[in-house]
Amino acid sequence: MDPQAHHTSPSPETAALLARTPPVITPGHTFDSVTDTITHVVLTKRTPLGWFLGFFVAFVLLMVLNMTIGNLLLTGIGIWGNNVPVGWAFDIINFVWWIGIGHAGTLISAILLLFRQQWRTSINRFAEAMTLFAVACAAMFPLLHTGRPWLAAYWLFPYPNVMGLWPQFRSPLIWDVFAVSTYGTVSALFWFAGLVPDLATLRDRAKSRLAQRLYGMLALGWRGSAKHWQRYETMYLLLAGISTPLVLSVHSVVSFDFAVSVLPGWHATIFPPYFVAGAIYSGFAMVMTLAIPLRTFYGLEDFITMRHIHNMTKVMLVTGMIVAYGYANEAFFAWYSSSPYEEFMMYNRMTGPYAVFYWSLIAINALMIQLFWFRSVRDNIPLLFILSLLVNVGMWLERFIIIVTSLHRDFLPSSWDMYAPTRWDFGMFVGTIGLFLALFFLFIRFLPAIAIFEMRTIVPEAKVKAEQHG
Amino acid sequence: MAEFETPAALVEAATKARLAGYRKMDAYSPIPIEELDEALDLRRTRLPLLVLLGGIAGGIGGFMLQVWASAVAYPMNVGGRPLISWPQFVPVTFETTVLGAALTAFFGMWALNKLPQPYHPVFNVDAFTRASTDRFFLVIETADPRFERSATRKFLETMHPVGVSDVEP
């Protein structure tokens, strides 16, 4: 939207204000109005009814997760549909899907910070929260796939146990453990560090004694001293610099789980970049899925502007095209390799029993995203919401196709079989969506969903140089 | 303690106070202000060096852990292949490097800032609650050699603050 639309002939003051306001925030905001708009969501006494409804749905799904996990631990992983030859199915599909979603949060908070992209400011906080919750959901799948996670510690983590056993460090699965646990830890540190100055704001503005105490404890006594800010900013920049290669490494390592094996359809050098692009693509779709209701229901359109929506759509377009290139590349090399196994794998994907999923994913990730070229589509919020949900479906299908079609027709035709998920597979998947949404609802109710102090830095008042004309 | 409405006024006041010979002072603001580093003559922080060391320690530690686990504690001879197969150790080494650096950056920053600190005298000033929203404060400490209650107060008032108040210990 054109900010000048409201003013047919802007007065000199208005024109000056517009000139000083970056295009990522609606003009006219001050330190106080920015703070007030964001803290109001948290500090208000009245929780909107819609919040309760949303949380209720999420909570029901969360209970489905509890029930599934309970049954899984009592009965064993036989309740899932995966069996030889499809030894990996929903557990790894959902793991990769969730961890990929998380990547957009780190991209926004770290990489866009290094590139000095101001539009990241109003979406980084909840995108980081999304990362954290998505990593939590992702981590549950491989852990529970071990069947008895309390015994898994000695396979996964190097600690001196009484059996004298050590993990196999030459296995991509162990690399995965280190990559994901490092990623989860660094994301949590980054997120909490970013929250502290805002928690101090909440501490100072809270009316109830309990809120003052709780936010006060979490704010660690932050007082905004110049020396503290200097170290804080240095740390923030360093963490961003550290997280940038980290986020690229995490999905590369996830792709090694497949690429290091010798299975047709997995053993491909394009996997790391193709997985990273797919992760960012699906992650931005999830940010969009969360941002659209958030800005509408909480009236945050001034901060999450159309500019943000457009930029996110463009990132999805670019990364989606890289993913589509990955599909083309897979098909090309299946033919170019002249390996009968590779050729059969691709032929089976395109025409075999799971072909409908393959073509759906091509329809979404290669064809549908071409809609993002059009400005009228990028301006259409309800349509974008639906498209972003479809992108998430498409990326889930991608992982399904990669994992299941390569496994169900392996080298020995005598062991060929079909894979079908059971209701417990679905229960677990739907349950993690419930966990994710429940955490997200709690987050927007109790913590500032937009980084307040960073928003203050982009209001025109914050500039020291421009004001020193006297 | 003097209260200002804009970051520019705070930077100007801090510069003037330093030129007037005050040394033990601090500024408080709701946003990071780069210009204050120069105005208050703040030294560059040691944090980057610590983070580098943390990263190096993480990397060496991670690599040695793998070497020790695979070649010393639990050596497994697979067809005579080398026990210290370093290319296979690269991903985990990278991750532990990142982990070491990130943990140092996070905990190092809080430690250098001496936070968490539950009590600080500045919180005794009522107006200070706005330091986390829209007000900017300059504090000259009594420990400053040039500090003299009434003269310092007068000096702060010359810079057109919104208000000047005493900070009780």
Cα atoms in the 13 Å half-sphere on the side-chain side of A221: 13
CB-nearest to A32 from B26, B40, B134 is: B134
Interface test with B, best of A33, A232, A242, A453 (most B CBs within 10 A): A242
Local structure of A86: helix, strand or coil: strand
The C-alpha atoms of residue A21 and residue A29 are separated, in whole angstroms, by: 9
Is B26 in contact with A179 (Cβ distance < 8 A)?
no
Is A166 in contact with B73 (Cβ distance < 8 A)?
yes
Is B70 in contact with A170 (Cβ distance < 8 A)?
yes
Question: N- to C-terminal Cα distance for chain B?
Answer: 13
Average pLDDT of adjacent 10-residue blocks, chain A of 470 residues: 47 67 78 85 84 94 95 92 89 94 88 85 89 94 89 84 88 92 93 92 89 90 90 92 92 93 89 92 93 88 88 93 94 92 92 94 94 92 94 94 91 89 94 95 91 86 58
pLDDT of residue A15: 67
Question: Are A388 and A312 in contact, with CB atoms under 8 Å apart?
Answer: no
CB-nearest to A231 from B74, B109, B128 is: B109
| Cα-based angle A102, A54, A73 (whole degrees, multiple of 5) | 60
Q: How far off is chain A from B150, nearest CA to CA, in Å?
A: 24
Is A193 in contact with B11 (Cβ distance < 8 A)?
no
Low-confidence ranges of chain B (pLDDT < 70): none
Q: For residues B45-55, b (16+ Cβ closer than 10 Å) or e, as one string?
A: bebbebbeebb
Any domain includes A65: yes
CB-nearest to A230 from B42, B103, B116 is: B42
Interface test with B, best of A32, A163, A230 (most B CBs within 10 A): A230
Provide, as residue numbers in chain A, all residues whose Cβ is less than 8 Å from the Cβ of B113.
Answer: 225, 227-228, 231-232
CB pairs under 8 A between A and B: 196
In A, minimum Cα distance to B45 occurs at A231
A188-192's contacts with Cβ under 8 Å and 24+ in sequence apart are A188/A132, A189/A239, A189/B102, A189/B103, A189/B105, A189/B106, A190/A106, A190/A109, A190/A110, A190/A128, A190/A239, A190/A240, A190/A243, A190/B102, A191/A125, A191/A128, A191/A129, A191/A131, A191/A132
Positive or negative torsion for Cα A262, A268, A272, A276? negative
Is A165 in contact with B74 (Cβ distance < 8 A)?
yes
The C-alpha atoms of residue A387 and residue A391 are separated, in whole angstroms, by: 6
In A, minimum Cα distance to B114 occurs at A228
Question: Number of structural domains, chain A?
Answer: 1
Provide, as residue numbers in chain B, all residues whose Cβ is less than 8 Å from the Cβ of A163.
Answer: none
pLDDT of residue A459: 84
B167: exposed, middle or buried (Cβ count in 10 Å: 0-12, 13-18, 19+)? middle
Local structure of A414: helix, strand or coil: helix
In A, minimum Cα distance to B90 occurs at A175
Is A31 in contact with B91 (Cβ distance < 8 A)?
no
The DSSP letter of residue A87 is: -
Phi, psi of B78 (to 5 degrees): -110, 100
pTM (2 d.p.): 0.90
Residues A52/A54/A60/A65 CA torsion (nearest 10 deg): -130
Question: Are A346 and A362 in contact, with CB atoms under 8 Å apart?
Answer: no
Q: How far off is chain A from B120, nearest CA to CA, in Å?
A: 8
Provide, as residue numbers in chain A, all residues whose Cβ is less than 8 Å from the Cβ of B40.
Answer: 226-227
Provide, as residue numbers in chain B, all residues whose Cβ is less than 8 Å from the Cβ of A253.
Answer: 91, 95
pLDDT of residue A10: 57
Q: Which helix (H) or strand (E) holds B28?
A: strand B25-28
| Cα-based angle A179, A120, A450 (whole degrees, multiple of 5) | 95
CA distances from A225 to A228, A234, A279, B16, B27 (A): 5, 14, 38, 18, 6
Is B109 in contact with A457 (Cβ distance < 8 A)?
no
Question: Are A231 and B47 in contact, with CB atoms under 8 Å apart?
Answer: yes
pLDDT of residue A13: 67
**Tokens representing residue A116 in the block:** 């000095």
Any domain includes A4: no
A250: exposed, middle or buried (Cβ count in 10 Å: 0-12, 13-18, 19+)? buried
**Tokens representing residue A383 in the block:** 């349509």
The C-alpha atoms of residue B123 and residue A130 are separated, in whole angstroms, by: 34
Q: Which helix (H) or strand (E) holds B139?
A: strand B136-140
Is A174 in contact with B31 (Cβ distance < 8 A)?
no
Domain of A142, in residue numbers: 27-147+174-459
Any domain includes A298: yes
**Residue tagged 């909490």 (tokens):** A192
The C-alpha atoms of residue A111 and residue A98 are separated, in whole angstroms, by: 20
Any domain includes A11: no
CB-nearest to A231 from B47, B74, B120 is: B47
In B, minimum Cα distance to A194 occurs at B106
CB-nearest to A178 from B29, B95, B130 is: B95
Instruction: Kindly report the three-state secondary structure assignment for every residue of A108-153.
Output: HHHHHHHCCCHHHCCCHHHHHHHHHHHHHHHHHHHHHHCCCHHHHH
The C-alpha atoms of residue A142 and residue A252 are separated, in whole angstroms, by: 17
The ipTM, to two decimals, is: 0.91
Is B120 in contact with A242 (Cβ distance < 8 A)?
no
